Structure 1
Amino acid sequence: MRPVEHFPLFARILHWLMAAMILTMLFVGIVMVTTVGPAYHQLVDLHRPLGICILALALVRLVNRLLIRVPPLPDTLPPALRTAARLSHIVLYALMIALPLVGWGMLSAGAYPVAMWPGFALPPILPHDPALFALLRHLHTWLALILFGVVLVHLAAALMHGLLLRDDVLPSMTSGPPADARKKQDA
């Protein structure tokens, strides 16, 4: 069996930071659509800039993923699961980028500003068009539901690797290499 390889620290930080942000965003979105009054506006004020931050970090992650070699999947993993892992990561990246862009486009079409903080809003990326706003609103909802499902499958796969297969896939993203491995890398 080959030695355990780990994701670099930067990749692990991005992964876990984005995991927390995406889970927060999904739950804020769910609560937001069931809330009225001032609490709704507070949630929207959190939802918009958090979505743009997720978009920016997703782009950083994508570049990082393209430039940095990732640890290989275990040889013991069946080909179907290898393919599923690769496809699920492509879908995750696509959703992490598409969902905020669709949200930004939706708000642009609805003539709503994407306020990042008081006094600073992003420019619209689409013209004002109520019909387009309605279409993008439905698309945004469906993409969010799909992301929620993919996140649940991703979590289930991580737990399968960590608890059932015990094949070092989960530790590659949760911790750095053991001290003796770091010494060998430095030598």
Structure 2
Amino acid sequence: MNTTQGEYTTTAKWLHWLMATLIALAWLIGFYVSDLPKGPEKAAIMAWHKGLGTAVLALITVRLAWRLLHPPPRLPDTLSPGLQRAAHSAHWTLYGLMIAQPLSGWAVSSANGYPVKLFGLITLPALVEKNEVLAQTFVEIHEFLAWGLALLVVGHVVMAIKHHHVDRNGILHRMLPGRRPTSD
């Protein structure tokens, strides 16, 4: 990617928006399914939740590899060094949560004795043995991470809107689809 243009590659943009969509859907489905009684409806909806989670876990590896091979554009010099550090910290925390959240869900399923399938096709190995106490601990971790991820995503969106409408520094435009970077 040509970082002098200040834009992300088309691939980076697609990965960003695809993952944002998958994470939002997984979060909403997880929130909905958590209050359902055990039964076939909950199992079917949970399969979708797990499928989205495994897709996020697979895609985050692709996204991180892409980011390492195609560094993102620099932040504008108009941002203070402190804000630049905060932005970098927030982005890496988001990446960490995009790994930890699906892993904790996988651990919940494993500890409850349920399989997890990658894209609904390949059964993944259990992360832990079946254990009800451990399952409840992982449920609490999974829920905590879900709320933390949601909070960080809201902050991410608020800051993108602030950069666009208040600072008018072009940061939001760099990640919007439809704008073509000079190279991919």
TM-score by length of 1: 0.88
Q: State the partner residue of 1:125.
A: 127
User: How big is each residue's C-alpha offset from its partner over 1:33-78, in whole Å with a ceiling of 9 and x where there is no partner?
Assistant: 1233543222201001110000000111111111212110000012
Q: 1:18 matched to which residue of 2? A: 19
Match of 1:142 in 2: 144
Q: Identify the match of residue 99 of structure 1 among 101, 123, 127.
A: 101
How far off is 1:117 after superposition? 6.4
Decide whether the 8 Å contact of 1:5 with 1:177 is kept in 2.
no
Which residues of 2 match residues 33-182 of structure 1 at below 5 A? 33-36=34-37, 37-116=39-118, 120-175=122-177, 182=182
Contact 1:102 1:136 in 2 (8 A): yes
Shift, 1:175, TM fit: 4.2
Tell me the secondary structure at the aligned position of residue 163 of structure 2: helix
Separation in 1, partners of 2:130, 2:14:
38
Percent sequence identity is 36
Task: Point out the structure with max Rg over C-alpha.
Answer: 1
TM-score by length of 2: 0.89
1:105 & 1:94 partners in 2: Cα distance? Answer: 16
Q: Secondary structure at the match of 1:14?
A: helix
Residue pair 1:158, 1:170 contacting (<8 A) in 2 also: yes
Distance in 1 (alpha carbons) for counterparts of 2:148 and 2:159 = 16
1:137-187 C-alpha deviation (Å, 9 max, x unpaired): 110010001001000000101111111111111111114656xx84xx7xx
By relative contact order (CA 8 Å, sep 6+), the higher-ranking structure is 2
Question: Aligned partners of 2:121 and 2:70: how far apart in 1?
Answer: 37
CA contact (8 A) 2:26 2:53 kept: yes
Matched letter for residue 159 of structure 2: A
